[in-house]
Structure 1
Amino acid sequence: MRKAAERGFAALREQLKRTTQDTEAIRSALSGAQWLTQQQWSIRERRYSDLLLELARFQSSLEDRMTFFHEPGSEDVRQFAKQKAVEKAKAEREAKKAAKLVARRPGQTE
């Protein structure tokens, strides 16, 4: 009876060993698949981010071109763009003047 129990134990041990190996193989395969999926999402995220950046640049470029290319009779837009440029230049001149005044103040410490 003792030999029968030992054989049964050996068979159980062998079965447990095979089951453990199978379990580890499945775990390894799932881990590898998960890693691949994660890498694919990382690549997709980078590509979508680049795409959105390029679309934003394209939109900005189109908006800039709106001030240069007009339909006949749309001088209002050109005049508006010219007015904005004049206002910007005036603001820059005033900022430079203010900076010079601040720099000339006597007794000013930094």
Structure 2
Amino acid sequence: MKELDKIDFRILKILQQNARIPMTELAEKVGLSSTPVTERVCRLEREHYISGYHAHLNPHLLGKPPLVFVELKLQSKSGNISKISKRSAENSANYGVPSGVGRIRLPD
């Protein structure tokens, strides 16, 4: 595995901001021609510095409220433990009831 240089880090930063940037534009931004930039991007992918390119979907337009991860730490003296336990059990995606980590979708 080749050690990353300043140009590699610049390429990674630019791709993080815009993974759909044309190679010619990326090359211009880092001061190289398209061929060496394309070779560098391929190497960064091959060596797993770049693990993939992803689409960020808008959950509201898809009819899904945002997904959040929560961690609950409850004291046994709390009067709400039974209510929280019941609600946690209703959520099939919950991990560790009543105290632990879970994920929930927030309604609007």
Query: Would you call these one fold, judging by a TM-score over 0.5?
Result: no
Larger radius of gyration: 1
Normalised to the residue count of structure 1, the TM-score between the two structures is 0.25
Larger proportion of helix: 1
- Structure number with greater CO (CA < 8 Å, separation at least 6) is 2
**Greater share of strand residues, 1 or 2?**
2
